[in-house]
Structures are given as C-alpha cells and as structure tokens.
Structure 1
Amino acid sequence: MQEWWRSAVIYQVYPRSYQDSDGDGIGDLAGITSRLDHIAALGVDCIWLSPIFASPQADMGYDVSDYLAVDPIFGNLAAFDTLITEAHARGLKVITDQVLSHTSDKHEWFQQSRKDRDNDKADWYVWADPLPDGSPPTNWHSHFGGPAWEFDPGRGQYYLHHFLASQPDLNYHNPDVVDAILETCKFWLDRGLDGFRLDTVNYFFHDHELRSNPPAQTRPQVMATDLYGMQKNIYNKTRPENLGFLERLRTLTNQYKDIMMVGEVGEMGNRSIEIMGEYTAGEHRLHMAYSFAMLGPDFNAEHFRNCIEGFQRGAPDGHPYWSFSNHDVPRQVSRWAEHSVSEDAMARLSCAMLMSFEGTIGIYQGEELGQTETEMEFEELTDPPAIRYWPNVKGRDGCRTPMVWEKDQPNAGFSTGKPWLPVKAPQAAKAVDQQTDDGIMAFYKEMIAYRKNSPVLSRGKTTFIDQPEPILAFTRKADAEAMTFVFNLSKDTQEIPMQAEAEIAKGNFAQIKDGTLTLEGNGYVYLSHTGKAPI
C-alpha cells in the first residue's frame, strides 16, 4: 500500500492568523478546530501547524522555551488533543513545525548553560572564546542581520545564533542534546501526531573546528540583511553530521505507523535541490524535503524545469514536496504579479501548475482564496528583521495577516478583538463568504479532487518537453494513461503546433483549432491522450 503522504496535498495553517476563539486577537487551537470543516472540504490530506509550543514569541514561536508545552496563547495540551481527535475524525492528518536547531534564550536548558562553563548543560549550546582581539570566533552571519555570535559576559564567551540573538543554537555534537531532542519528538508522536515539518533541517550541526566561511564570490549584497548571502555557507550549516541525526530521527518515527517527516532546506538555487536529494535518499532519512527554490521571484519555464529535473537527477529514489507560498515569503499572486494578466488568472495558473507537479503538494492558508500580500505600515509591523531594517526590508508580516472568513464582520470574522496583524479591505474582499461557485476556492477544490482521482497526477512519472519560453510543458505517465501539461507563463498569447491529437481535460484561456494549441496570457491545459505527446 502506498504511503499516504506520497500523493498528499498538505495545507499549512499559521495558528496566530487562522481563527481566534477567545477575542484576544490571536488565533488559537480551538479556533483551528472550529474551522476544520473548511479545511476538510478543500479535499486536502494533512494540516501542517506552524509552531504552537511555549515561546516568548520573539520570532512568532520559532523561539521555543518548552518543547513539551503548548503556548498559552494557543491553548493547552487538552486543546491540542481535541484538535488531533477532530482532525482524524475528518480524515485529516496533522503535523507540527518542529524547531529543533535552536531554542529561545528563555529555555531552561539555555538558562542553565549560560551560568558557567562547568554545569551539566554547559556544552548544550555552541559556545566559543573570543579571538585574541575580542571579535567573534568566526565570520558567520545571522539571517536577521549582524554577526551570528552574541557575547555573554557571564561566561565570557560567544554563543552561536543563526537568527535572533534570543535564539541560541543547540550543540548537536553533544550526544546528550540529540537524546533530549529525540525525547521531545517522541512526546508528540505518543499524543497521536502524524509527523513533523522540520524547520531549518540543514542547520543542526556546525563545523566543530569553527572555520570561517569563504566569500560567495558570485552573489553581491543586494539588501540590508543580505550579508548572509555574501558567504559560501559551508561551515555553519549543511554539515555531513546532519545525516546521522536524520537517520536517528527516522529510526524513531519508524516505530510508529504512517508517520511522515518533511524537512525545510534553508538554501537557495541549485544547491537547495542537491540537498533535498541527499536528505531524502534511501529509506533511512527524511520522507521528503522542500526548499525555497520555488518560493522566490523566478517565474519562467527554465526555472521550474531545472528544479524538478534537478531533483530527479539528485534523488532518483527520493520524494519532493513542492509549494509556491508559505509564511516566510510574499504570496504568490502578488510575488508573480508582473507576469499576470490578472490576480484571478495568476491564482488559477499557479494552482493548476502546482497540482500537476510530481510529488507532494503544499498550499498555504489563504491561497485557496487567491489571497494577495498585505501592504504594511511601519507601525503595524511585528517581524524583527522588518522592524530593524525598514523600509529596505518589508518583512514577512504581509503574508501572515489573518485568514478572512466573512467580509462584513469585524476583522472579516477572524476575531472579535483587535487582531495581532491588521485585516485590510483588499484581503477582506477575498473572504470565504465572498467565494462564488466558479471562484478561486471552488477551483482549488476542483483541482485537488481531480489530482486525487487521477492515477497520472497522483503517481505518474514526469518527462519534460522542449519548448521555448514562456512555455512550460511536460508529460506524465502512469500505466497505460498519459497526460501532457502546458502552461503559458506570460501575459502574451502563445501558439503551439500540435503533433498529435489530444483532448482538453482541464484548461483556461485555451483552445485547439486547425492543429494549433492557442494559450492566451496565463493560459494552461491538461491534455489527455493515448499515443505520443501532442506537442
């Protein structure tokens, strides 16, 4: 029997922004539970919850202070158990975002570690002496700007942090740390969780010799926080020891039934595809991985083809997870606006593309509404890098604003109190109660159902067809069935000669006439055929 996750559609919920049940302006577990019928009606298979664990919320839960507790703003363990039970009753799996590479500086482990150099947890974090001139041990940069090292006067040493200074990195070279982390994962699996989304999965280990990174050479600084990108980050992450930890984690999950792990590869470009392959190779590491390869501004056929073919080459026995948006990047309808004839056309095109890709598919809450990025004012911001570097860095708040349910209700039905991020008119206009029978939400439901009911889409193998830009085309085959998928990634009409007969199974802005396939701007087709590829 095929594992459930191999053809799944996973729906990401950002808990702070999904549904507030108690009027404090912050979404919570009870609110999510109350909206499970909406999620189930989409036809998805699994919910990915962004972090819900105890946290000071300096980085919106990605700074965990207690791995075994639900943060009170979201509820408690009983609310978590109820959510799991109700989701399972609707046929939905649930996975959580596990932030294992670092903790909050408020975590009791770090509080003890920083006391002195001789306590039981002194080596649980990455500590190092200053260089002779007092500067940090290496040249490594933080993602959020500045050095990746913070000096602690109590120990007279620096500690490593890839993100905020209040997010110290754990020392995975210490086997006690690895054992403790595995115990926290076991805790949630024992409560009925169906798996993990592993945050920054290639960041667990650092170079034990603390060597400085060489310059990237090919990537100049382009923004205030992009000093990180000016280095070839080979010593601060993606170390070979990472694989051993993933194998231990897989051994743990194999003790349970139907568990899935998907890792977030924190890397860009071709290297991210290579890491995805390495981390999913065989059956003893991750079940699947995804990167930011499709979460950037690139929107051309060569890019998408390179991502998919790169994974095919790098991990012929691995399994990819593809998504176009999440809580860290601008929403796809806005991000690719320069290539779209309209918001509606881009929402349909991107959905049709994503649902046609081989592997597991991820969608971010609100994408099923065709939601757009929220334009933020400085005084509305909560995202640390945006606050620090505004206006050069817009931050991530624009994609994290609340889910919209009822256009004319306060805060579009998200909360009766003041929401933690604003609900603005352009977003409220796309509320669930404004979706029509032929709208974007209905389209997502239709395409998800079509994907699930098609052997070609659920397990067919992919072969790309050479076409000039802006046409992305490929064929997928399963058993005796075949389909060809053609997408116009531009605003301009494209005409493509047909080489064989085919029927349009799904399409938009498309027609076949006199042996020519015509796709208007942002048009696409799913072509059904029995013989060779029709283009």
Structure 2
Amino acid sequence: MAIQAAEWWRGAVIYQVYPRSFQDTNSDGLGDLKGITRRLPHIANLGVDAIWLSPFFKSPMADMGYDVSDYCDVDPIFGTLDDFDEMMAVAHSLGLKVIIDQVISHTSDQHPWFVESRSSRTNPKADWYVWADPKRDGTAPNNWLSIFGGPGWEWDGVRRQYYQHNFLTSQPDLNFHNTEVQDAVLKTVKFWLDRGVDGFRLDTVNYYFCDKLLRDNPPHEPDTSDGGLDAPDSNPYGMQNHLHDKTQPENLDFLKRFRTLLNQYEARATVGEVGDGARSLKTVAAYTSGGDKLHMCYTFDLLGPDFTAAHIRNCVETFQKTVVDGWVCWAFSNHDVKRHVSRFAKAEEERPMIAKLAISVLAALRGSICLYQGEELGLAEAELAFEDLRDPYGIRFWPAFKGRDGCRTPMPWEAGKAHAGFTSAEKSWLPVPYEQAALSVDTQEEDVNSVLTHYRQMLEFRKRHPALLDGDMEFIGTNQDLLAFTREKNGEKLLFVFNLTRKSAEFRLAVGMTLGEHVDMPGSGGLAGRESIQLEALSAHCHRI
C-alpha cells in the first residue's frame, strides 16, 4: 500500500536550507529568500520531498535568527513576506513541501512581548516569561545553567527579578505555564498555516516548560554521547542532570494543542528537535506516540563522531524498542554540528567515499531523513580564523570549541566566481574556503562519479523501493563489524550490508538465507556467493532475498 498524501512526511527526504548561507541576490553578502527561490531547482533535482528553512523571521540576529522579535514577519536582510510567498509558490510548483522553523521556547529580548513584560510586575504580560525573585543573598533563584555558558538566569534592574534563559541572555524563555502565552504562540503558528506552509520544525521542542517550583538540578557527569549543543567538554552544562529546566510533563498537553491546530489543515506535519542526552529516545517516544502530538522527531544520536556498525545499529534498535508507534527523522549533519564528512573521515582522501557511503546508509534506514545543505557536495567542515567567527557559542568557548560557523559557510555554486557564486558583494558574511569552492555545484553537475551525482542516484533509488520509505526493518547479527539489515514491504525484501571499516570483510549468510538477484544500488559492490558476500573497505552491497 502506498503512503497516503496526508502522510507525505513518513519516509520523506527533507533538505535543510540555512538562508543566510544559501544564495545572495542583493549583494549584501548575506543569503536571502530570493536566493532560495533561484536555487530551488537544484534542490528539486536532488529528488528530495521537502525543504526546511532555518529562521528568517525578524530578529536582532544575536543568535543568527534563533532570537525572534516578530514571529509573523520576515527580517529585511532576507526580504519580505511577498518574497516568502513567491519562494513557497515556486517550491510547490516543483513538488517540494515547505517546512519552517518555529523557535518558540524563547524570544529575543527585543520582542514586544518581553519589552512589555520587563517593564513592571503588574503589566498584562508580566507573567509571560519565567521571572523569579533572587535568593536572600541576591544570587539566582537556582543552579540552572545556560547552554551558552554561565548561569541560566539574568538580573533585570527594572523588575528587580531574574529571568530564565536557556541560551543567550538576550533570549528570555517564555512561560508556557501561562495559557495566554500558549494562545499567542499558536496564533503565530496559524499565521503561517494560513499562508500555506506544509509543516514546522520545532526548535528545542522539549524546552518549552520548566519546573514550576524552580527546583535545583542534581549533579551529573558530563554526557557527550549525543554530540549536540549541550555536549562539548568545555561546557559545564553537561555537569547537571537536567531534570527540572526542560522536558517537563506539561509539555505533552501543549503538543496536543499544537497538533489539534495542525489537524484543522490538510496534510501538515511537525518534526521536533529533541536534545535530552541519554533520555532523548524516551522523550521522542512520549512526543510522537498516540498520533496526537508530533508527527516525528530527531535527536542528536547520529550527529556525533561515531560512524560504526555497532553505533548505528544501537541507535536504530534502541529507537525501535523504545518508540513503539512514533516516527523518527535521521540525520548525520545540520547547522549546529561539525559536518559529518569531517567527523567520519580519517583522512582527507576518504572524504568523497565517506560522503557517498553515508548517504547510502542514511537512505536505507527506516524513518524520514534530513540532509543539510552542502552535504550533497561532500563539503567538509571549514577551518576559520577566530576573527571570522560570527557564532556567539563558538566565540564564547573558543579555543576549546570552535563553534558552528564551520558548517555554516556559504554554499559553493560556481567554482570560477568570487565567493564561489554565493554573492557578488566584496565580502561574504562568512568566507568560502578554497577547498569548498573546488567542490562547487557546477564542478560536480556532469561528473558521473561525483558526490552530487551519487546523492541524486541514491535518493532516486530510495523512491523506487517502497520498502525503504516505511517498510519493516530487521537487523542481522554478524561476527564482524558490519551493518546488516533487511527492509521489507509488499513482498519485496532487500538485504543491505555496509562495511564501515577500513579493511575488507566477509558477511556470512545465516542458515536458511538464500540470495536472489543483486540489486543495482548506486555504489553497491561486493562479490556474492552461496554462503557469503565479500565486501571491500568502506563499501555497500544490496541483494533481494
């Protein structure tokens, strides 16, 4: 049975666009909505189903747009609402769904809601943010920390109270315990639904509520397993067990309210970002079960440095055991983490091979998948000088942690042009390294052996086989470091074997397993016999069984 149109998101391939780094059309060195419209054919030609736009809302840009000052308008650096409407119309004409970021756990301190809230303790929005009195000695109400370093509280001299901020001090947290806040947030969501967007990526979706009693977090050993923002060794945030400043039970009822609103529109979807350390999959299970909250979530499980059979199998099997009726969205890269080619490759010459192998693995997993702009070119992490950094997180933790600018450098389109065709301005907001310009779209466009060509072929292969979209998945045990599993739907059963190691390996067939015809998966190799399959280093194989 085919996936119903209302469930287009199930098994979908979503392409993340970071607007300020995609394409500049007005020569100010920053990407814009018209630039996205111009380059939509490239995205459509990849064979993806949807685009996810990182924030383009009005913002002072202290955190590159994740500090919103107006949820219902476009920041002038990106264009206008008319530009957005034009972009969305072109996307839809190309068969692409449009997902936009919703950053609703916090606002900018320049948002009118916060300006009013901080003006007094008695104004109509006085309780719209998380305010608290100091302790008797003047210190913060509790020990909560900010992911961006230091206390999670900031003193306000007008109210003579502290306000909570999980991120920058200029990003105060909304008080979702106040139903008026929920109503106001949902009204802004409705604004975009009425404009025709197809879905929402919910930033920090488990951060909406904090403990009403503001209890201290207990200590915890630093957990770097998820590879996310809260993980670098240089950040004391990981030294707490975050029981009280996020992932509160009240969040479930709000997500139900969100889903109820979406259900009033046809074929809309949500994908939530869950950063909850070792508890992330349990949180995903809670947020996606029952069909009345989020449609799907993604975690940081595959966004770390580990590209091994054991790790990937553990992540997927744990999800399958923990999340009974929910759905997951897998990704190897995004705008917050080091590009996966740099994380996974042990040498520069491995990078093209790793890039191809990674998308082959990702496309074969059960779930939806997210691609991050530039990974289809095999882009590695850019090495930037401190004076080039724009990311407040990177600046704060330099040099122990270099921040997120290395994965946010502009998209290289044309190798022979200044800034690789991203902008005609004298200076781009972030530099385009020579190594990235050399991998530009135009250099790979007609190369049958390029990473870009492999991405297109692999995504087309995924669409040709419905088993890869939402078919069953079962792992096969091996005596070697091989990733082996089957995908099955409607009578088609495919065997995938991936050798993620740097040496050749043999996959021995289980007793009673018989190979059918070899499936011509892009990049697939190996020699198959009656009892085993021989695989070269960093290679893949697919067979019907």
What's the TM-score, normalizing by structure 1?
0.96
RMSD: 1.6
Does the aligned pair in 1 maintain the 2:14–2:369 contact within 8 Å? yes
Q: Which amino acid aligns with 1:195?
A: G
Instruction: State the distance in 2 between where 1:474 and 1:524 align.
Output: 12
List aligned pairs for 1:172-191, cutoff 5 A.
172-191=176-195
Instruction: State the distance in 2 between where 1:69 and 1:268 align.
Output: 34
Does the aligned pair in 2 maintain the 1:301–1:469 contact within 8 Å? no
Q: Which amino acid aligns with 2:274?
A: V
Matched, 1:34 2:50: no
**Offset at residue 501 of structure 1 (A):** 2.3
Q: Which amino acid aligns with 2:109?
A: D
Instruction: State the distance in 1 between where 2:305 and 2:400 align.
Output: 17
List aligned pairs for 1:409-488, cutoff 5 A.
409-417=417-425, 418-435=427-444, 436-488=447-499
Aligned to 1:532: none
Matched, 1:286 2:290: no
Matched, 1:201 2:209: no
In structure 2, the CA distance between the partners of 1:468 and 1:339, relative to structure 1 (3 Å rule), is farther
Superposed CA deviations along residues 46-89 of structure 1, whole A, max 9, x for unmatched, are 00000010000000000000011100000010000001111111
**Offset at residue 206 of structure 1 (A):** 0.3
List aligned pairs for 1:353-364, cutoff 5 A.
353-364=361-372
Instruction: State the distance in 2 between where 1:173 and 1:385 align.
Output: 28
List aligned pairs for 1:58-207, cutoff 5 A.
58-207=62-211
Instruction: State the distance in 1 between where 2:532 and 2:316 align.
Output: 27
Superposed CA deviations along residues 439-487 of structure 1, whole A, max 9, x for unmatched, are 1111111111111110211221111111245211111111211011111
Instruction: State the distance in 2 between where 1:52 and 1:243 align.
Output: 27
Aligned to 2:245: 236
**Offset at residue 518 of structure 1 (A):** 1.6
Instruction: State the distance in 1 between where 2:231 and 2:467 align.
Output: 42
**Offset at residue 336 of structure 1 (A):** 0.9
Superposed CA deviations along residues 495-524 of structure 1, whole A, max 9, x for unmatched, are 222343243322445222574312221111
Instruction: State the distance in 2 between where 1:503 and 1:327 align.
Output: 40
Aligned to 2:411: 403
Instruction: State the distance in 1 between where 2:517 and 2:410 align.
Output: 41
Identity, % of aligned pairs?
Answer: 54
Matched, 1:256 2:265: yes
Instruction: State the distance in 2 between where 1:152 and 1:481 align.
Output: 62
Matched, 1:498 2:509: yes
Instruction: State the distance in 2 between where 1:219 and 1:90 align.
Output: 43
Does the aligned pair in 1 maintain the 2:364–2:462 contact within 8 Å? yes
Aligned to 1:522: 538
Instruction: State the distance in 2 between where 1:511 and 1:439 align.
Output: 24
**Offset at residue 9 of structure 1 (A):** 0.5
> Gapped runs of 5+ residues in structure 2?
225-229
Instruction: State the distance in 2 between where 1:23 and 1:217 align.
Output: 48
> Which one of the candidate residues 525, 528, 533 is aligned to 1:512?
528
Does the aligned pair in 2 maintain the 1:339–1:491 contact within 8 Å? no
In structure 2, the CA distance between the partners of 1:460 and 1:340, relative to structure 1 (3 Å rule), is farther
Instruction: State the distance in 2 between where 1:284 and 1:338 align.
Output: 43
Aligned to 1:331: 339
Does the aligned pair in 1 maintain the 2:297–2:329 contact within 8 Å? yes
Matched, 1:265 2:265: no
Q: How many residues are aligned here?
A: 528
Instruction: State the distance in 1 between where 2:342 and 2:436 align.
Output: 12
Instruction: State the distance in 1 between where 2:94 and 2:176 align.
Output: 38
Instruction: State the distance in 2 between where 1:76 and 1:198 align.
Output: 22
Instruction: State the distance in 1 between where 2:222 and 2:80 align.
Output: 48
> Which one of the candidate residues 350, 365, 378 is aligned to 2:373?
365
Instruction: State the distance in 1 between where 2:102 and 2:90 align.
Output: 21
What's the TM-score, normalizing by structure 2?
0.94
